[in-house]
Structure 1
Amino acid sequence: MRLHFARLLATGLLFAAAAAPAQDYPNQPITMIVPFAAGSGTDAVARIVGQKLGERLKQPIVIDNKAGASAQIGAAAAAKAKPDGYTLFMTTNTSHSANPSLFQKLPYDPIKDFTPIARVGELPFALVVNPSLPAKNMRELLAYAKANPGKLSYATPNSTSLVASETIKRIAGVDVVGVPYKSSPQAMTDLVSGQVQMYVADFGSGLTMMKSDKVRTLGVTTAKASPLLPNVPPIGESVPGFDLTSWNGIFGPAGLPPAVADRINRELQVVLADQDVQQKLAALGFQVWPSKTPDEFAKYVDDQLKHWTTLIKQAGVRAE
């Protein structure tokens, strides 16, 4: 009887120890790692969502930009962080869907090293070119590229830009040279100056330029036109079968207590339903699409990993 009571007591203490971090969470500032540079689309989303989430949690959320190596630096740092809820990771398909097929070796495992918390939404992209090119639309661009093989170059600061550009190359049968960049703002700067001629840019960092005369926007990567660029047709109208977008979500390190993940997820549901947040994100072209539970997001991440593995294989991109 005493042994049975001791076991019950030990079990109760274990449950109490596990619940304790969640009961008083959070009691200090939270860091949200973003694996892209300040000014990028993901950074803009993180700052909008992070500010309101911090208000809900009654603790400030500090954005920590750890850019470089196609999101590997930020992902590795987040994976190694203490799983206590004070280090979060806002990332995209780059680190968790594409990198496993783009690199032969990664300093993290996208499934084993993270605790999925919530999907936030999707960020559309568009193909923009330097205005010096004679092409006024996608068909003219593809015709020009075919007539000038290897003479055009495209910027690629993230996996979506890379896979989108390579998919266009494969389907349309054109020869365009990829130039890697560390950040989206740097890629856009070089496009405007004419260092590169093409760039599949995210709305978050590039929408202002897309609406200006400093670049020419030829097509959006989604299957339907964007209300933010109603006169810009989908690339799929000129490149049949093309349809690509970028998801965005929040993770914690592996081993994050379920109660903490659930708490953050619940607060995010409120944040992403807030009209002010939705309006600010809509101005970036970002489409709010939260997952209801961490488990739902976990399944989505697994499905997207398989989807992007197929996309990259079809695009003919070889792992570095």
Structure 2
Amino acid sequence: MKTSFSLRRHVAWIVVACSCVATGAAIAADADKFPSRPVKIVVPTAPGGSIDTTARILAEKLLEVWGQPVVVENRPGASMMIGAEAVARAQPDGYTLMVVHDGAMAINPAVYKTLRYQPGKDFVSISLINSIPLVLLANPSLKANTAKDLITLARQRPGALNHANGGPGTLLPSQLFKAMAGIEYLEVPYKGAALALASTIAGDTQITIADLASASGFIKSGRLRPIGIASSERSRAFPDLPTIAEEGVAGYQADMWVGAFAPVGTPQAIVDKIGQDIRRVLEEPAVRTKMEALYMTPVGSTGAELASIMARDTLRWSKLAKERNLEIEQ
């Protein structure tokens, strides 16, 4: 009896092991054939912004690599939560992806009391795509040509200035600036960067923070005045524009990054293939030229590197939100 039981157990383990090997082989084969049908990239913002532009540049080239349609679907609303939640609940097979910036993945968790998705649990990181500098902008009528001028003005007129924020992605960089500069001004929330920019252009608000890709046209037309780069280094596109750190706020730095994600549970072999293909596309001179012309810096990465950056930034912004007592009701 004892020998018979041991034999049955041994046979059972062999069956399980063979099943695992077969499953692994099947997944690897699926990855080799991926994609065999159209792929959807969800963008949780309206058409025309930096995330949307990034996704469309990527989709165009992935079509060439994969030989399958790559469709960009815009699912805006609720500070990117609607689109992010849709992807989190999608079938984890590699055919639904998300291109999104750090606002949804590192900042929303820091400020929203409840969030219908959990970036670290509901998604698998695929690759960074690019980084885009943030820029502090002023209405041309404001008597401030630099971040230092703005700080002086804010100290002379505490609470008199107001900042148009297009959501948590610019709210927290603004809050960081105020905390590090030792100033205060009013935060005026808008539903998206486009409305925040329009507000400052119209003079309804005096200042705003936006990504350089979205703001560059308004800067060139003179409708907005750039007064400080939020990055740790000056922009090559505007080399004469000092960083905020250079203007007396030592250590200030806030960049925007855009990355690619898939629903958790997506087979790792497929995630790896998508990541490899994205990094391959980002190395193409035509793609780099197109992104750099839009003030984006192409930056590929492994999924693990993106996950590490996301965790680091979530910790940073969560600490600031707690210090500033920032909490947004959904």
The bucket for the TM-score relative to the shorter chain is: over 0.9
Matched, 1:290 2:264: no
Give the direction of change, closer, same or farther, for the CA distance of 1:7–1:125 in structure 2 (3 Å limit): closer
Q: Distance in 2 between matches of 1:69 and 1:96?
A: 14
Give the direction of change, closer, same or farther, for the CA distance of 1:253–1:221 in structure 2 (3 Å limit): same
Give the direction of change, closer, same or farther, for the CA distance of 1:139–1:267 in structure 2 (3 Å limit): same
Give the direction of change, closer, same or farther, for the CA distance of 1:241–1:11 in structure 2 (3 Å limit): closer
Give the direction of change, closer, same or farther, for the CA distance of 1:9–1:158 in structure 2 (3 Å limit): same
Matched, 1:278 2:300: no
Out of 95, 98, 102, the position equivalent to 1:93 is 102
Aligned to 2:30: 21
Aligned to 2:131: 122
Q: Distance in 1 between matches of 2:176 and 2:89?
A: 34
| Residues 167, 315 of structure 1: 8 Å contact kept | no
Which residues in structure 2 correspond to 1:147-162 (within 5 Å)? 147-162=156-171
Tell me whether 4-13 or 97-106 shows the greater mean CA deviation: 4-13
Which residues in structure 2 correspond to 1:222-261 (within 5 Å)? 222-238=231-247, 239-261=249-271
Matched, 1:146 2:155: yes
Aligned to 2:144: 135
Out of 182, 189, 206, the position equivalent to 2:198 is 189
Q: Distance in 2 between matches of 1:73 and 1:148?
A: 39
| Residues 166, 316 of structure 1: 8 Å contact kept | no
Which residue identity lines up with residue 222 of structure 2 in the other structure? D
| Residues 101, 319 of structure 1: 8 Å contact kept | no
Q: CA deviation at 1:314?
A: 4.7
Q: Distance in 2 between matches of 1:213 and 1:196?
A: 16
Between the aligned residues of both structures, percent identity stands at 34
Give the direction of change, closer, same or farther, for the CA distance of 1:99–1:12 in structure 2 (3 Å limit): same
Q: CA deviation at 1:271?
A: 0.4
Aligned to 1:309: 318
Give the direction of change, closer, same or farther, for the CA distance of 1:151–1:53 in structure 2 (3 Å limit): same
Q: CA deviation at 1:183?
A: 1.8
The CA RMSD over aligned residues, in Å, is 2.0
Aligned to 2:4: none
Q: Distance in 1 between matches of 2:245 and 2:256?
A: 16
Which residue identity lines up with residue 93 of structure 1 in the other structure? D
Matched, 1:61 2:93: no
Q: Distance in 2 between matches of 1:140 and 1:7?
A: 70
Give the direction of change, closer, same or farther, for the CA distance of 1:97–1:44 in structure 2 (3 Å limit): same
| Residues 172, 317 of structure 2: 8 Å contact kept | no
Q: CA deviation at 1:31?
A: 1.1
Out of 209, 225, 231, the position equivalent to 2:218 is 209
Q: CA deviation at 1:232?
A: 0.9
Report how many residues are paired.
319
Unmatched 5+ stretches in structure 2? 1-6
Tell me whether 89-98 or 2-11 shows the greater mean CA deviation: 2-11
| Residues 113, 327 of structure 2: 8 Å contact kept | no
Q: Distance in 2 between matches of 1:12 and 1:216?
A: 61
Q: CA deviation at 1:174?
A: 2.4
Which residue identity lines up with residue 223 of structure 2 in the other structure? K
Q: CA deviation at 1:116?
A: 0.8
Q: CA deviation at 1:112?
A: 0.8
Give the direction of change, closer, same or farther, for the CA distance of 1:290–1:93 in structure 2 (3 Å limit): same
Which residue identity lines up with residue 238 of structure 2 in the other structure? L
| Residues 35, 71 of structure 1: 8 Å contact kept | yes
The two structures have a TM-score, normalised by structure 2, of 0.90
